Amino acid sequence: MKLRKKHKQEAEIFTDTLVDILFIGMMFFMIVSATNTLKMVKMNNPRASNDTKTNQKNISVSVDKDQNFYIGTTKVANANFDSLLHLEILKYKKLVDTPSVIINADTAAYYGEVFRIMRIAKRDTAKVVAVVK
């Protein structure tokens, strides 16, 4: 007499992809919780009744590729540029405390000239802004 043994099939669960999904979920929540740690105090900032703009005066200085200097749209000789820019800054200082000097230099212009303009503006306590594209 031959007795048969019944073979029980064991159920298998493939957990390879489950581990990947859990790892990605854990990384997501760690990143989200790390960025949420900054706490700020809520304050009531004053609001204006209308949109106000500052009356900041700007002095535009341009240097082209041929090393020609312009204050505004007026071409200025290289020898007189330092003193004319100084006078222009002093003229604008009567209107505002710290005028801004906006430098618009060509990419082929010598950057030593741009630094010279910055040095003059800083010496006369004006803000310096460089236009880049």
**Within a 10 A sphere around the Cβ of 74, how many other Cβ atoms?**
9
* Residue-wise pLDDT tens digits, 37-69: 544 334 334 455 554 444 456 888 888 888 888
> What domains sit in the chain, N to C, each tagged with a CATH number?
58-130 (3.30.420.270)
Closest CA to 96 of 54, 52, 53: 54
Specify the long-range contacts of residues 31-39, CB closer than 8 Å, at least 24 apart: none
Answer positive or negative: Cα dihedral of 85, 117, 92, 61.
positive
Q: What is the pTM of this model?
A: 0.55
